């Protein structure tokens, strides 16, 4: 959990300005289009603030502002299992722009005022863009792009026309770049800077990701003789790879841009003249094809609770209007579900499936299968079945819990909350104080009184996004009951949060229960049948639970004084159990031995 001083500034929404096909180029004098190249990274906590500012600027000026999010520098370095969004061209640009901190950006590759850095604070971007859009441009740029969806071949045309003649021997430079949108990944976020980009699965939706240049001349562009008259045309053909740096390149999420600039990698001479951006059209699009990408949510629940799977579906063909699913828990009876909606060509959709109850066994999991697409007219993709493990909560056998929190050096980044089954916070802690050096820093214990037969969820949060176990010490979180850890977060080295669940089996000791409602369980040991007697008025639930807290038998009775309930137990294996008598928020428990 390292921290750094970053440039300050505002927030980004995930909407995109879609550019129509623009060729042929206009031969009428026009004002400049602006290019904002933003230096960013997945571990830059203030970068979502920059994303929001940049996107707001582009949204306010449709078709006039090209956003290029360049992942480069130390904050773009991925950790284990994280995506590498860097590119060779992006790293070269980062060195050229030479930012003081991140996020930073450059508009038209020009310094702001008297600054000596090309990449400046996001507080300056709006002013620089407004100024650029008001300037007359000596040239116009237009482009179009087509992708053969079957072969993944891109054909891209760029047209340039100088409305202001340039002197003989004047060279400009053309860069043609590729952007990727709607990419889900980790993103450190020091505040609620860009909430619309945070998905239900906790991931961040990255936009305008720079994936590299496609032009002749590499990072610094192809030479253009600016003194030419008439329309200057450049054509690029390129087979789009399946991935870049092991990051999938979804052809349905691409945009392309062209930058015309002066100079050639020289400070204060390589400034942008104008630019254009385009979304591609597609040919040879295959039939609708649905693949079950993943089950995006995690499951950490108490036995008997329900889960609601959310499956992400990728479409590698034409539009999907319906998908039939089959979902099962622990290999049990499959539950059918039909999704009716619209997943556009090459689009993705997270689909919420019906809730299903989890009756715990030794190993627990949920499985989702795609059984048909578009009523059988579409195709099932390469992944038709996905599954996810289900973690079953530990059982607490007492009501007095102690939360023990140990942070690494950066305690100010760590908080925790304990939720009950109604998702109400019943206890919380942090942020804590930073240490002077890396290490393990135990914090003050927090005592919590639990409620019987309740299910709790403990969540530990890290505002930086790298957990409390990533090189700055060894953090640890435990909820202890009667000397046993019933909820733990012991290894937390990536992401913004981790959680665990626990269930409480009873409210009182045997003697307390017997004294309060005169509860008795007999015979004990028992076989075949057991009697449960108690004093009470109202509706009571009589349950037998195994040692893991799983309910194996239950009856509901209405009591009006002294009550005895007969519980058949001939189907139970020999061993130790608990008998619970519950009424409203009160529960009373005694041990039972089945022989």
227 in a domain, yes or no?
yes
| Per-residue pLDDT reduced to its tens digit, 456-466 | 999 999 887 77
Tell me the pLDDT tens digit for each residue of 573-591: 888 888 888 876 566 777 7
471 or 87, higher pLDDT: 87
Tell whether 21 is covered by a domain.
no
Looking at the fold, whether 550 and 413 belong to one and the same domain comes out as no
Residue 42 sits in the same domain as residue 89 = yes
Among residues 450, 476, 504, the one where a domain terminates is 504
Q: Which domain covers residue 323, as residue numbers?
A: 289-390
Lowest mean pLDDT among 204-218, 417-431, 539-553, 560-574: 539-553
> Is 29 domain-assigned?
no
Same domain assignment for residues 515 and 480: no
**Domain end marker among 252, 267, 283:** 283
Same domain, 445 and 499: yes
Please identify, among 340, 375, 390, the residue that sits at the C-terminal boundary of a domain: 390
Per DSSP, what are the bridge partners of residue 541? 556, 582
Label residue 91 left, alpha or beta by phi (over 0 means left) and psi (-120 to 50 means alpha).
Answer: alpha
What's 436's domain CATH number? Answer: 2.60.60
How many whole angstroms separate alpha carbon 54 and alpha carbon 70? 13
- Residue 56's Cα: distance from chain center in Å? 22
Whether 466 and 481 map to the same domain: the answer is: yes
pLDDT at 524 over 70: yes
Q: How does pLDDT run across 37-81, given as a tens digit for each residue? A: 999 999 998 999 999 999 999 999 999 999 999 999 999 999 888
Tell me what percent of the residues of the chain surpass a pLDDT of 90: 61
Q: What confidence tier does 494 reach under pLDDT thresholds 50, 70, 90?
A: low
266 pLDDT band, cuts 50/70/90, is low
Distance, CA of 455 to CA of 479 (rounded, Å): 13
- Whether the per-residue pLDDT at 267 is higher than 60: the answer is no
Q: Which two tokens stand for residue 240?
A: 């789009």
Residue 4 lies in a domain: no
pTM: 0.66
Based on the fold, state whether residues 39 and 114 are members of the same structural domain: yes
Residue 510 phi, psi (nearest 5): -60, -45
On whether residue 28 sits in a domain, the answer given is no
Which tokens is 337 given? 């579900």
Does residue 260 have a pLDDT over 90?
yes
The tens digit of pLDDT for each residue in 407-432 reads 999 999 999 999 988 888 989 999 99
287-314 average pLDDT score: 91
Please, which pLDDT band fits residue 509 given cuts at 50, 70 and 90? Answer: very low
Determine what percent of the chain is predicted with pLDDT higher than 70.
92
Count CA atoms closer than 13 A to 184's CA, side-chain side: 14
Using CA atoms, how far apart are residues 214 and 69, in angstroms rounded to an integer? Answer: 16
Return phi, psi of residue 228, to 5°: -65, 150
Average pLDDT over residues 5-9: 31
pLDDT of residue 18: 35
CATH number at residue 335: 2.60.40.10
pLDDT for 12 beyond 50: no
Q: Do 86 and 167 fall into the same domain?
A: yes
User: Structural domain tally of the chain?
Assistant: 4
Longest CA pairwise span in the chain (Å): 107
pLDDT single digits (tens) 157-188: 999 999 999 999 999 999 999 999 999 999 98
**26 in a domain, yes or no?**
no
């Amino acid at each position: 959990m390292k921290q750094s001083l970053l440039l300050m500034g505002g927030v980004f929404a995930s909407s995109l300005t879609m550019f129509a096909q623009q060729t042929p180029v206009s031969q009428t004098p026009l004002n400049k289009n602006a290019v904002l190249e933003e230096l960013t990274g997945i571990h830059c906590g203030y970068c979502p603030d920059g994303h929001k500012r940049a996107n707001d600027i582009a949204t306010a000026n449709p078709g006039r502002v090209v956003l290029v999010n360049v992942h480069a520098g130390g904050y773009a370095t991925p950790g284990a299992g994280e995506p590498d969004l860097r590119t060779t061209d992006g790293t070269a640009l980062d060195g050229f722009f030479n930012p003081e901190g991140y996020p930073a950006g450059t508009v038209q590759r020009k310094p702001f005022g008297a600054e000596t850095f090309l990449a400046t604070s996001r507080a300056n971007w709006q002013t620089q863009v407004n100024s650029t859009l008001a300037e007359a441009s000596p040239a116009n740029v237009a482009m179009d792009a087509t992708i053969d969806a079957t072969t993944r071949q891109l054909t891209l045309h760029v047209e340039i026309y100088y409305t202001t003649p340039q002197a003989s021997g004047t060279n400009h430079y053309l860069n043609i770049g590729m952007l990727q949108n709607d990419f889900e990944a980790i993103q450190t976020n020091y505040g609620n800077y860009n909430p619309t980009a945070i998905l239900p699965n906790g991931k961040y939706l990255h936009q305008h990701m720079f994936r590299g240049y496609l032009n002749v001349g590499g990072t610094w562009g192809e030479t253009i003789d600016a003194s030419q008259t008439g329309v200057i045309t450049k054509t690029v053909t390129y087979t789009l790879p399946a991935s870049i740096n092991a990051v999938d390149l979804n052809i349905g999420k691409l945009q392309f841009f062209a930058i015309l600039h002066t100079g050639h990698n020289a400070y204060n001479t390589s400034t942008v003249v104008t630019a254009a951006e385009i979304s591609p059209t597609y040919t040879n699009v295959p039939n609708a094809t649905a693949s079950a990408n993943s089950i995006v949510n995690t499951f950490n629940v108490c036995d008997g609770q329900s889960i609601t799977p959310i499956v992400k579906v990728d479409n590698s063909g034409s539009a999907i209007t319906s998908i039939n699913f089959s979902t099962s828990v622990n290999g049990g009876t499959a539950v059918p579900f039909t999704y009716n909606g619209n997943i556009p060509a090459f689009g993705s959709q997270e689909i919420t499936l019906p809730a299903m109850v989890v009756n715990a066994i030794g190993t627990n999991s949920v499985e989702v299968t795609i059984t048909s697409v578009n009523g059988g007219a579409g195709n099932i993709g390469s992944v038709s079945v996905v599954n996810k493990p289900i973690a079953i909560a530990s059982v607490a056998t007492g009501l007095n819990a102690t939360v023990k929190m140990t942070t690494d050096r950066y305690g100010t980044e760590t908080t925790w909350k304990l939720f009950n089954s109604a998702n109400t916070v019943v206890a919380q802690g942090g942020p804590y104080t930073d240490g002077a050096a890396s290490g393990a820093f135990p914090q003050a214990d927090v005592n919590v009184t639990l409620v019987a037969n309740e299910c709790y969820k403990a969540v530990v949060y890290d505002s930086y996004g790298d957990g409390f176990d990533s090189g700055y010490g060894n953090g640890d979180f435990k909820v202890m009951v009667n000397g046993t850890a019933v909820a733990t977060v012991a290894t937390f080295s990536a992401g913004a949060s981790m959680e665990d669940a626990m269930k409480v089996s009873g409210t009182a000791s045997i003697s307390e229960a017997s004294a309060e409602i005169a509860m008795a369980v007999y015979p004990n040991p028992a076989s075949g049948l057991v009697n449960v007697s108690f004093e009470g008025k109202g509706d009571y639930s009589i349950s037998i639970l195994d040692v893991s807290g799983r309910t194996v038998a239950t009856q509901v009775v209405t009591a009006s004084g002294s009550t005895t309930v007969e519980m058949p137990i001939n189907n139970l294996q020999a061993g130790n159990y608990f008998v619970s008598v519950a009424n409203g928020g009160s529960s009373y428990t005694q041990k039972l031995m089945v022989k």
